[in-house]
């Protein structure tokens, strides 16, 4: 138990010192294991973890979906989604912001990466917002926050990581993320409309707005047929049983490549090379952290800290509600300093045995935790979505501008978390339907 507490303390000290999280997992794990078992067994345990931890074809899903998202971004699917949603919301206050929200929801269904979404819509939506003289922080906050939808809406890379950590079905977690993702988009849209109505200076209306007939709107919407095909092939293939999750990822990646090739952008070898390099870099980063986290989790397991903490909490008899709230608060603060994959890998070896012993629905808890990951993706000091947007927004945009615009969008996220707690069926209805319960 003492060694387990030393493990966590050493981890927090090293992360405060700015060390890379992959190095922290292995350095802390090796040091503590060597003290408990000796240096020989400690190194042997690393070797076992490196091989047996990821020697499964399930892990092939992650790089395939990352590559699919990279191809989708370069094929222009994000711009198609934005153009198609913009014609529907032109008359309402904050129309470009609302269009950005729903375009992110559509693009999230093919990208799986909130960082990619923030970068894509920083190029697509921000110029239009600037043309209409939107408030700078309002526009930046909208784009950075809406980019987080890709973390919840399948095929989400973070949900794949969560499924592996918790031994849940990837398909079940994908299904659980659909409705919460759409509810979040709706809450964001209501927030934008209300704020723009109260303060028109935030989002001035377009005086030269073109009015489209219903038929013209439908023609614009037809432009997103590639996204529809990908959703049918990937998610439809998984849930119909035609594809395994890995096969669906491979089929989706191939179709996305063909769409980009026949459209033109992916005919260039240099563009394909950039997509492959970007996907390899992202995937290897996640795998390095994941293997380190698996090793770290084994070390905690040997110390019996997770099971002992779970036993103490059960004896305290404080109830599932208090336990859930405490864990979500901890996840919120962790999310301010780590990316989503890292803080799940750090916390779930401790939290997951507790929620199972408390009888808390694991799928529901995973979705609640994903909401905390979405908030963490836009809150300082890490806030990776803000850094991604800053990279494409131009020199006149500072991180302070982005973070200032993000804070009001935390409110809709909190509302969704409350809804998920009061109505857990938002997260569990589709998985239960899928599982025939």
Cβ(365)–Cβ(320) under 8 Å?
no
Average pLDDT of the residues in 426-432: 89
pTM summary value: 0.81
For the chain, the domains span 57-267+304-434
Residue 437: its pLDDT value, please? 55
Average pLDDT of the residues in 76-89: 84
Alpha-carbon distance values, 90 to 4, 79, 129, 227, 269 (Å): 56, 16, 13, 22, 38
In the block, residue with structure tokens 């594809």: 243
Q: List, as one string, the DSSP characters of 219-231.
A: HHHGGGHHHHHHH
Side-chain half-sphere CA neighbours of 127 within 13 A: 7
Of 12-26, 52-66, 192-206, 213-227, the range with the highest mean pLDDT is 192-206
In the block, residue with structure tokens 């994000």: 78
Cβ(140)–Cβ(204) under 8 Å?
no
**Model confidence over 98-139: pLDDT tens digits?**
988 998 888 888 877 777 788 888 888 888 888 888 999 999
Helices (H), 17-60: 21-37, 39-52
| DSSP conformational letter for 198 | H
């Amino acid at each position: 138990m003492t060694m387990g507490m030393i493990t966590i303390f050493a981890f927090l000290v090293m992360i405060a010192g700015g060390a890379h999280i992959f190095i922290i997992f292995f350095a802390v794990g090796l040091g503590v294991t060597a003290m408990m078992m000796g240096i020989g067994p400690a190194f042997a345990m690393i070797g076992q973890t490196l091989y047996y931890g990821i020697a499964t074809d399930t892990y092939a899903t992650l790089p395939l979906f990352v590559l699919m998202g990279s191809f989708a971004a370069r094929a222009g699917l994000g711009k198609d989604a934005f153009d198609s949603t913009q014609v529907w919301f032109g008359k309402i206050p904050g129309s470009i912001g609302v269009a950005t929200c729903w375009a992110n929801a559509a693009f999230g269904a093919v990208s799986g990466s909130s960082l990619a979404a923030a970068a894509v819509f920083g190029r697509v939506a921000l110029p239009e917002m600037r043309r209409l003289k939107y408030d700078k922080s309002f526009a930046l906050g909208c784009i950075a926050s809406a980019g987080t939808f890709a973390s919840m809406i399948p095929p989400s890379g973070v949900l794949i990581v969560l499924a592996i950590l918790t031994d849940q079905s990837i398909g079940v977690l994908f299904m659980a993320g659909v409705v919460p993702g759409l509810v979040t988009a709706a809450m964001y849209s209501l927030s934008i409309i209300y704020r723009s109505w109260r303060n028109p200076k935030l989002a001035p209306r377009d005086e030269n707005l073109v009015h489209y007939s219903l038929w013209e709107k439908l023609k614009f919407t037809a432009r997103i047929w590639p996204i529809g095909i990908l959703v049918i092939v990937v998610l439809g293939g998984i849930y119909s049983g035609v594809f395994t999750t890995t096969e669906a990822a491979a089929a989706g990646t191939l179709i996305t490549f063909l769409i980009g090739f026949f459209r033109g952008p992916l005919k260039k070898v240099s563009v394909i090379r950039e997509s492959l390099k970007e996907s390899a870099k992202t995937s290897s980063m996640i795998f390095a952290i994941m293997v380190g986290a698996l090793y770290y989790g084994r070390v905690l397991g040997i110390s019996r800290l997770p099971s002992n903490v779970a036993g103490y909490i059960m004896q305290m008899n404080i109830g599932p509600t208090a336990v859930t709230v405490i864990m979500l608060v901890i996840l919120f603060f962790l999310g301010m300093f780590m990316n989503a994959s890292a803080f799940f890998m750090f916390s779930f070896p401790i939290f997951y045995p507790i929620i199972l012993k408390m009888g808390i629905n694991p799928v529901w808890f995973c979705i609640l935790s994903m909401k905390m990951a979405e908030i963490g993706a836009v809150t300082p000091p890490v806030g990776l979505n803000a850094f991604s947007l800053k990279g494409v927004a131009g020199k006149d945009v500072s991180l302070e501008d982005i973070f200032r615009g993000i804070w009001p969008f935390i409110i809709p996220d909190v509302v969704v978390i409350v809804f998920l707690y009061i109505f857990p069926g938002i997260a569990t209805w589709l998985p239960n339907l899928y599982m025939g319960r």
